């Protein structure tokens, strides 16, 4: 897989095929048993602790369902990385936090606690925190999960606009076919540990591969069968003979 600078790439596939595991390799949480992951020319699993920490400083991660710190305000959630990774004075952090929240349309929520936010609002605050340090690489793990249609469209649009505004590279792990194909530049389909298909959104929509067609159109049966393999049905019901 190649993730060019400035592009928004989707990784799709069935649950358990390795999408989130791939993100963990990119972030250095896991080390590969074969092959390697390079970010900005550096092999991630060869970095020492300080090198990995410095590389992660250039990455942003939006976790599934946001993963906001529940005992911190919206403001402190977004300010967290700035305080952790920089020596910026608090007055500059204040302005930067409000700018990031303004970018996702939630500047007015800065004094609220995560429990006071709707699911869509919490995801947008998490997005503001993800881009707090203007990362060169942004990773999204199921950013659309559990969102209502309006929030889903808003988050999708923000992912596209923030990527373009930052000139970043974004990787989106998602099951949401229709929303993703509206915003991404390229798609990789994973299955059984390999890339089954890849291409632009138009190429994916027009794909003649049975697996891709089944996935894109949400068909019940196909290369991924409806029935889990089992014995003879009549015999299981003692109807044999």
Residues 15-43 have pLDDT tens digits of 777 788 888 888 888 888 888 888 888 89
CB burial of residue 108 (10 Å; 0-12, 13-18, 19+): exposed
The answer regarding whether domain 8-236 maps to CATH 3.10.129.10 reads no
Work out the angle between the directed axes of helices 90-103 and 149-166 (0-180°, nearest 10).
130
CA 178 – CA 222 distance, rounded (Å): 20
- State the residue for tokens 């791939």: 22
Rounded percentage of the chain residues whose pLDDT exceeds 70? 89
- Contact between 144 and 179 under an 8 Å Cβ cutoff? The reply is yes
Q: Can you give the pLDDT at residue 186?
A: 93
Q: pLDDT tens digits for 117-165?
A: 888 888 888 888 888 888 889 998 888 777 778 878 888 888 898 888 8
- Contact between 124 and 104 under an 8 Å Cβ cutoff? The reply is yes
- Contact between 59 and 139 under an 8 Å Cβ cutoff? The reply is yes
């Amino acid at each position: 897989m190649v993730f060019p600078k400035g592009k928004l790439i989707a990784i799709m596939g069935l649950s358990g095929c390795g999408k989130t595991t791939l993100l963990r390799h990119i972030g250095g949480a896991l080390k590969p048993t074969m092959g390697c992951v390079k970010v900005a020319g550096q092999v991630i699993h060869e970095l020492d602790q300080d090198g990995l920490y410095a590389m992660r400083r250039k990455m942003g991660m939006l976790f599934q369902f946001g993963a906001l710190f529940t005992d911190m305000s919206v403001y402190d959630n977004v300010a967290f990385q700035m305080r952790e990774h920089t020596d910026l004075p608090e007055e500059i952090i204040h302005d930067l936090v409000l700018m990031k929240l303004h970018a996702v349309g939630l500047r007015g929520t800065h004094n609220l606690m995560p429990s006071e936010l709707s699911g869509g609002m919490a995801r947008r605050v998490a997005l503001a925190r993800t881009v707090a340090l203007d990362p060169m690489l942004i990773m999204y793990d199921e950013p659309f999960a559990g969102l209502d249609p309006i929030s889903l469209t808003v988050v999708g649009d923000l992912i596209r606009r923030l990527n373009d505004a930052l000139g970043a590279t974004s990787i989106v792990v998602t099951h949401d076919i229709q929303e993703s194909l509206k915003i991404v530049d390229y798609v990789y389909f994973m299955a059984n540990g390999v890339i089954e298909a890849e291409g632009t959104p138009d190429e994916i929509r027009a794909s003649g591969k049975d697996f891709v067609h089944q996935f894109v159109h949400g068909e019940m049966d196909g290369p991924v069968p409806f029935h889990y393999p089992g014995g003879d049905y009549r015999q299981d019901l003692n109807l044999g003979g």
